[in-house]
Amino acid sequence: MTAGFFDLVIFDCDGVLVDSEPIINRGHAAALTDCGYAVTEREMSELMTAIFEVVPVFARTLTCIRPTWRPTWRF
């Protein structure tokens, strides 16, 4: 086998092999806390669960995002 090549690459996009949700929630909570928004991992879990209910409402009610909008944080 030549160095630099893989026999197999697996993309676990639905969390069957690794439950990545707690890891992602931990990262989001840390990033938001660093930006001055104190959020716990549990709160992030609840927020991310609710996002599936909120996004369709936003999609129906928001017509656009102003071009002047800029995020206040960067990774």
pLDDT score of 64: 64
pLDDT score of 73: 54
pLDDT score of 65: 58
- Residue whose pair of structure tokens reads 């609710």 in the numeric block: 50
Q: How far, in Å, are 6, 19, 21, 41 from residue 25 at the CA level?
A: 30, 11, 6, 6
pLDDT score of 2: 59
pLDDT score of 30: 93
Question: What tokens does 55 get?
Answer: 């996004």
pLDDT score of 49: 81
Q: Which of 18, 19, 43 is nearest to 29 (CA)?
A: 43
Give me the residues of the chain with pLDDT under 70, please: 1-3, 59, 62-75
The string of DSSP codes covering 5-48 is --S-----TTSSSS--HHHHHHHHHHHHHHTT----HHHHHHHH
